[in-house]
Amino acid sequence: MPDISVVLPSILQPLAGGQSILTAPADATVTVGSLLDTVTGGYPVLARRLRDEIGALRRYVNIYVAGDEVRRLQGLETEVSPGQEVLVIQSVAGG
Amino acid sequence: MATAENFVLAIGTKKGLWLATSQDRKQWSFSGPHFLMSEIPSIGIDTRDGRTRIMVGVRSEHWGPTVAHSDDLGATWTEPEQGAITFPEDTGAAVERIWQIYPDAESRPGVVWAGAEPISVWKSTDGGEHFELNRGLWDHPHRSDWGAGYGGAAAHSIVVNPAGDNVHVAMSTGGVYRSLDGGESWEPRNKGISAYFMPDPNPEFGQCVHKIASDASVEGRLYAQNHHGVYRTDDNGENWNSIAEGLPADFGFVMLTHPRREGTAWVVPLKADGERIPPDGKLAVHRTDDAGATWKRLDTGLPEREYNSVLRDAAGVDSSEPAGVYFGTRGGTVYASADEGETFAEVVSHLPDVLCVRAAVVSTAGLPVPETAAARGA
């Protein structure tokens, strides 16, 4: 069964036990939301860094699927296929 | 000879937390920044139960808000896995920012209150590791009429009386709310406080209160610094009366009270509404020793010119004798007084905007000593 990989920025890796990539087994397409549920299920602090308690993606957290940021697709309902790689990247925002 | 005391000073800024320790409140050793690039809008130093626990509200623009605590003066930090403050699912709300962390009375060890944005009050009974949402205030019928101040819509001040039955909360904007049953039910208590910026300047609620604090020993006496207006109540919030006469400005954010002595409070006046700076650019703390009847200007040791404001939680007192008074500016300078404000000295400068300052007398026995001078000039 091919995996879906979620690549984390270095700043979040300590919250995933030091891993840079989290994987979820998938034999069909899944949504980004359910993918995050799966890969962060064992890492609740990491989960809160990405989404608030009502499940909304934090404003300056960007998630890319096939090169597109999910806000320009279907948000957390964006579908990801087995074998694809999902990137979590923080916005270059701040001062 | 007095027993040597150890002091800890916690400085929450827009870009992290600095901790300082001292034995004389003059020479400080620093550690930090902790939580670099996250703002620290709230700090509680809990010295009950024979330990020193520093609790901080942390908020990253990228990664959101959380609460962490340290029992070793910042050598290590713990963030509860499930989050110390998270809204229950049925509320459909999410925490934006922790504005206040308030350890309760000595007689109620383990009880810690918190105020947050959106406007909400929380209570922990396990020393600040997990908080429960106060449903009485969350479900209050006035909620839809409460507004947001410039910094957001938040409960920013919590005051609990020694018996624990009377709780006052101040929110921006909504005014002061009081509970007589330990937080089960809430009613607005703003009579006498002007809301000049509203069509009805004397509404039941909606006042823009900036900070409240309780008198050290007079039950039912509280002080309030409002958006224009400094007030005192002697009847548990039923009536508020102006005590602004004698101050150079009735605007400001800070309201501090003495840890033991009745009638003693400190404010840091700012000129407003258009300017929001110390009057004429001359920074001064003002102290009353007679519950607001008169005020004394205190500026010895403060700079000739200072155009930065002092935010509502960027000031604190310690419990020593005489009490220490501390505050920080949006320009990143922190001042300390070991004599109740008579004289101040700069503790550190050039930090990011100071959002929160708390100080306490602590036992450092068995605790690691913070690194020296890590923050000075940072």
pLDDT tens profile A21-55: 999 999 999 999 999 999 999 999 999 999 999 99
Q: What confidence tens digit (pLDDT) does each residue in B6-25 have?
A: 999 999 999 999 999 999 99
Place of tokens 């020993």: B217
Q: What confidence tens digit (pLDDT) does each residue in B277-327 have?
A: 999 999 999 999 999 999 999 999 999 999 999 999 999 999 999 999 999
Answer yes or no: is pLDDT of A8 > 70: yes
CB atoms A53 and B66 under 8 Å: no
Joined together, the tokens standing for residue B63 give 């990664």
Residue A49's closest chain B neighbor by CA? Answer: B63
pLDDT of residue B2: 52
Write the residue in A52, A53, A61 that is nearest to B62 by C-beta.
A61
pLDDT of residue B201: 87
CB-based contact, A92 to chain B, within 8 Å:
no
* Residue B267 near residue B294 (C-beta atoms within 8 A): no
Tally A–B CB contacts below 8 A.
49
CB-based contact, A14 to chain B, within 8 Å:
no
Joined together, the tokens standing for residue B135 give 């449903």
CB atoms B93 and A54 under 8 Å: yes
The Cα–Cα gap between B4 and B361 comes to 10
Answer yes or no: is pLDDT of A93 > 50: yes
Q: In chain B, what residues touch A56 (CB-CB under 8 Å)? A: 94
pTM of the predicted model over 0.90: yes
Spell out a b/e string for A3-16, using b for 16 or more CB atoms within 10 Å of the CB, else e.
ebbbebeeebeebb
N- to C-terminal Cα separation, chain A? 44
CB-based contact, A42 to chain B, within 8 Å:
no
Query: What's chain A's average pLDDT?
Result: 95
Q: Which of B323, B327, B319 is nearest to B355 (CA)?
A: B327
Which of the 8 DSSP states describes residue B370?
Answer: P
DSSP result, B28-88: -EEEEEESTTSEEEEEEEE-GGGS-EEEEEEEETTTEEEEEEESSTTSS-B--TT-SS---
For B140, phi and psi rounded to 5 degrees? -60, 135
CB atoms A52 and B94 under 8 Å: yes
Which residues does chain B have with pLDDT short of 50? 1, 366, 372-378
| ipTM of the modeled complex | 0.92
CB-based contact, A90 to chain B, within 8 Å:
yes
pLDDT of residue B138: 98
Residue B195: Cβ-neighbour burial (10 angstroms; 0-12, 13-18, 19+): buried
pLDDT of residue B376: 40
Q: Which residues contact B100 (CB under 8 A, 6 or more apart)?
A: B42, B57, B113, B114, B115, B116, B155, B156, B157, B158, B313
